[in-house]
Structure 1
Amino acid sequence: MVLDKKNIPQWLVHALLWFMLYGLLSYPFLTGSRSLPYSLLAKLLLAMALFYLNYYYLVPKLLLKDRMWYYIVLSVLLLLAVGFYTNIVFPPSPPDELPRRAVRMRQHGDGGPGAFRFFLMTTVIFAVPYIFSTMLKVYTEWQKNEDLRKLVEKEKIQSELQFLKTQLNPHFLFNSLNTIYSLSVKQSPDTSEAVINLSELMRYMLYEADRKLVPLGKELEYIKSYVALQRLRLSNGEDVSLKISGEERGKFVPPLLFISFIENAFKYGTDYNGKTFVKINLSVNHESIHLQVINIIGTFKAKTKSSGVGLENVKNRLNYLYPHSHVLLINDDGKTYEVNLTLNLKNYELHNH
């Protein structure tokens, strides 16, 4: 899940921030072999209080609530007040040096400007962690919202996929029952075999189809059973071919991904004389799977503009599951209907990990 990714702990970010700030303020004194000012730690604690007041209250209550101008004005006033307060409580020099420093400043005529420069410098020093706290809080909230958005989007996709599956299963069952019905009407001795075959198919759909991925071998067995069931109702089963080549071990695919193309081939692949022609080739390579389905365009297809619920559903599933890892080409020349689907297994694994 998106929210499970490992981020740098917030407390560690804050600890590094204060360690770096304290080191930055202490560096000039340590390198100059001077003792640290007595007020350095107190100013750091004041900066921390200002930081967390902004981080936990001002930014969430004002800036993130579309009250930007209130936030800016209040922040400026707060920083000026802290700078002024600091100059009074922590003057530029220790108390015992104030008289001599004041005399020197008056003698050089820079008492006012010198104090003002120190006031501005102090305000800027407090403003740096304050602004950083604003940036950090805004980024944290943005990241949280982005993670939540991705999670909601992922769950939405999963719910849509589940909805597509619930549409596909009744559609398949309806077609299969029609097959068995046609056999029973003919009083075919293959009717009992067809019922057993359908029970095997339904067992796969009940216990395997709810999984995100299934072994490719099981999906291929499902396709073989389906084709065998369709052959039972045809008078010219020899014109139906299924060829599977390649090594399926160690490969996984979403369940019921190929069956809609094969279903539609049988549904629309009967000509005016009642003969069916369906050719299915499925080749498994190291990093890809290629499915080719060819059928003639029969009477039922010629009289309807609908290509079936299942075909539209599988197109949607491909767009969701293999957004950049599949190529689907459909050719309809009026006499034959050809589907060529290529799945890139390597890109799919990278996209889903």
Structure 2
Amino acid sequence: MADFTFRRALQPLIHVLVWGLFGLTFLLFHPLTGRVVMPPQFWVKQGLMLAVWVGAFYLTAGVSVPRLLFRGHTGWFVGALVATAALLLLANYGLEKQLHLRELMDRAFHAAIDPAGAGPQRRGPGGPALGGGLRGARSPFRFDATGTLITLLVLGISTSITVVQRWQTEAQGRERLEQQRVLSELASLKAQINPHFFFNTLNNIYALTLLDGEQARAAIHRLSRMMRYVLYDTAAGPTLLSQEVAFIQDYITLMQLRLTDRVTVEFAPPAPLHDVPLAPMLLLPFVENAFKHGAAASHTSRIVVALRQPTLHTLALEVRNTLLPTPTTDLAGSNGIGLANTRRRLELLYPGRYDLQVTERTPANEYLVELTLTV
């Protein structure tokens, strides 16, 4: 926002500097100023034409282009552009006529060529009278090619700049809308994941209260710590890998409170762990799925969660759970949002930087999820 305000404040200064440079060039570097002593009317005409060109520039940029060209009235816009150019050329001609500039320039031109003032009677050796030749010569101001060229350049540059600025504004607007859409979608996905996780966890704690009140109180305390992490520590955006690992460890400890000795749980965090930014709650659905579908009181099973960092900015997750004689394993849980949300978050947050492989049945009768992520 501050950068946008600074750029808007800088624009008038840029316009003043550009027009100042143009004016100095136009007034001081005329092709004849070094050879002819210009009358005062010449500078008056040049200054007035400069003001007219400035007005035509902003008239085209502020009225003709937005109200005609941008609204699809191309024919009217071309007509307006031609009319503006014609009016500028007429203004140029009218100023010359009103200030008697052509006669004054003729005199200055003749004075520069014939400083002795011999007039038409002075002849060059073997040639015609110089005065008559000068009177018959065409003054460079009979056709103001410079004024015509500047008129066309002013109108062309005004149109081009306005069109480019409109294109840039629309492109920035589309980019902002896309960013807002992505952020809104991410917020929606995260809002769906969190209730899903806490709904399942509260069910587990409820079951635990029937067996061991002391462990249930410890589980509630651990859950409150996890909720604080989700609601406050991750609200600003990415979290650190160390915090996410601690969160997964808390989750696994919480889940182990209700497991029997038939379920073996192995958790291997990265060693050594290098802290890198990571989207919060991104790995939890895979771990949660393993406990939901890989643990049962009446069957022997194993759950393995392994995190590795092959390189500083590469994270590899491997989650295994024994396949039990229950419905097909998936990440959706009871409401079908886990796997779809996780894949969508990966696509939005790490496009082209992740590889997710899911093996529904390995030779060891396990469900295997392998995720490689470049963070």
| Cα distance in 2 between the residues matched to 1:282 and 1:100 | 89
Q: For residue 294 of structure 1, what is the aligned residue in structure 2?
A: 320
Distance 1:100 1:252, change over 3 A: closer
Q: Secondary structure at the match of 1:299?
A: coil
> Which whole-Å CA distance do the structure 1 matches of 2:351 and 2:51 have between them?
52
Structure 2 partner of 1:219: 244
Q: 1:41 aligns with which of 18, 42, 47?
A: 47
- Structure 1 residues 48-63: aligned runs within 5 Å: 48-63=54-69
- Structure 2 residue 341 is the aligned partner of structure 1 residue 313: yes
The 3 A distance-change label for structure 1 pair 4 and 40 is closer
| Residue of structure 1 aligned with 2:304, choices 279, 291, 298 | 279
TM-score w.r.t. the length of structure 1 is 0.82
Question: Which letter does structure 2 place at the counterpart of 1:163?
Answer: S
Instruction: Tell me the alpha carbon deviations over residues 56-113 of structure 1, each in whole angstroms, 9 at most, x when there is no partner.
Output: 22212111222221111111012012112211212595433458989979946x79x9
Secondary structure of the structure 2 residue equivalent to 1:311: helix
Aligned length: 341
1:96 alignment counterpart? 104
Amino acid at match of 1:130: L
Equivalent AA in structure 2 for residue 294 of structure 1: R
Q: What is the aligned-residue RMSD (CA, Å)?
A: 3.4
| Structure 1: distance between partners of 2:57 and 2:312 | 56
Q: Which moved more, 1:4-13 or 1:324-333?
A: 4-13
Q: Structure 1 regions of 5+ residues with no counterpart?
A: 346-353
Which stretch has the larger CA shift, 120-129 or 89-98?
A: 89-98
Q: Which amino acid aligns with 1:290?
A: A
Q: Is residue 295–residue 301 contact of structure 2 (8 Å, CA) maintained in 1?
A: yes
Question: How many angstroms apart in 1 are the aligned matches of 2:326 and 2:33?
Answer: 90
| SS of match in other structure, 1:88 | helix
Residues 273 and 101 of structure 1, relative CA distance in 2, 3 Å threshold: same
Runs of 4+ in 1 over 6 A off after TM superposition: 99-106
Cα separation, partners in 2 of 1:79 and 1:185, compared to 1, 3 Å: same
Instruction: Call closer, same or farther: CA 1:88–1:63 in 2, change over 3 Å.
Output: same
Give yes or no for the alignment of 1:78 onto 2:69. no
Looking at structure 1, the residues matched to 308 and 5 of structure 2 have their Cα atoms a distance apart, in angstroms, of 36
The corresponding residue for 1:17 is 18
Equivalent of 1:235, from 245, 257, 260? 260
**Distance (Å, rounded) in 2 between the aligned partners of 1:18 and 1:124:** 17
Larger radius of gyration: 2
Alignment partner of 2:352: what SS?
coil
Match of 1:132 in 2: 157
Moved more, 142-151 or 129-138: 142-151
Using the size of structure 2 for normalisation, the TM-score is 0.78
Give the AA of the match of 1:52. Y
> Where do 1:118-197 residues align within 5 Å?
118=143, 122-187=147-212, 190-197=215-222
- What corresponds to 2:355 in structure 1? 327
Counterpart residue identity of residue 315, structure 2: I
Change (3 A) 1:305 1:136: closer
- Consecutive unaligned residues in structure 2, runs of 5 or more: 111-131
What is the CA distance between 1:165 and its match in structure 2?
A: 1.4
- Whether 1:342 and 2:372 are equivalent positions in the alignment is yes
Give the alignment partner of residue 65 of structure 1, picking from 58, 62, 71: 71
Residue number in structure 1 paired with 2:128: none
CA displacement at 1:272 relative to structure 2 = 10
- 3-state SS of 1:246 partner: coil
Moved more, 220-229 or 151-160: 151-160
* Identity between Structure 1 and Structure 2 (%): 27
Q: Distance in 1 between matches of 2:320 and 2:155?
A: 68
**For the Cα contact (< 8 Å) 1:288–1:343, is it kept in 2?**
yes
